[in-house]
Amino acid sequence: MPAHGPGVPAADWDLTEQGRRAAESLRGVIPAGALLVSSTEPKARQTLEPAGDVLTDERFNEVRLDGAYSDDFRAARREYVCGSDRAGWETRAAVMDRFDSGVRYWQALAGARPLVIASHGMAMTVWLSGTVSIADAGGFWAGLSFPDVLEVDLDIPRVRRAELRR
């Protein structure tokens, strides 16, 4: 979990101590020798740091949006990931394009090594919806935990949740 509040933009949130302990638990599921890439947001980078050196790429940042703190933020975000672009928010098509561009770039650099990307719920859900056809994007997004590890196989295509020891 990140340390957060309305006075600090979400893109600047760090992990709490609890979040850092949870990130430590990922070492058991991240393949040895993996290429580690995260968004440029501290909480994403800090999530992967226990597993090794982390490179960053802004293409994996969360959706850019207005109105991060409102009474209906969960409902608005769920509608967005389900297919409703919102005024003042980055379009879903733009998120899909930038995220996919980042995945393809880092896949090429990783070669035969596993690629591990730390990103954010909405951006990742939008990308997965367009690549592996998630049947219920809103349910998928709402069901993400902190942290969560998803194994994506673009050749099949398939996404599955990895077992985490908590």
Domains and CATH numbers, the chain: 10-161 (3.40.50.1240)
Phi, psi of 20 (to 5 degrees): -65, -40
Q: Helix %, strand %, coil % for the chain, to 5?
A: 45, 10, 45
- CB of 118 closer than 8 Å to CB of 48: yes
Sign of the torsion angle spanned by Cα atoms 93, 94, 95, 97: positive
Give the number of other CB atoms < 10 A from CB of residue 99: 25
Residue spans of alpha helices (H) in 33-111: 42-48, 73-81, 92-110
Length of the chain: 166
Average per-residue pLDDT for the chain: 89
Q: Show pLDDT as tens, one digit a residue, over the chain (166 residues).
A: 565 666 667 777 778 888 888 888 888 889 999 999 999 999 999 999 999 999 999 999 999 987 655 668 889 999 999 999 999 999 999 999 999 999 999 999 999 999 999 999 999 999 999 999 888 999 999 999 888 889 999 988 999 888 765 5
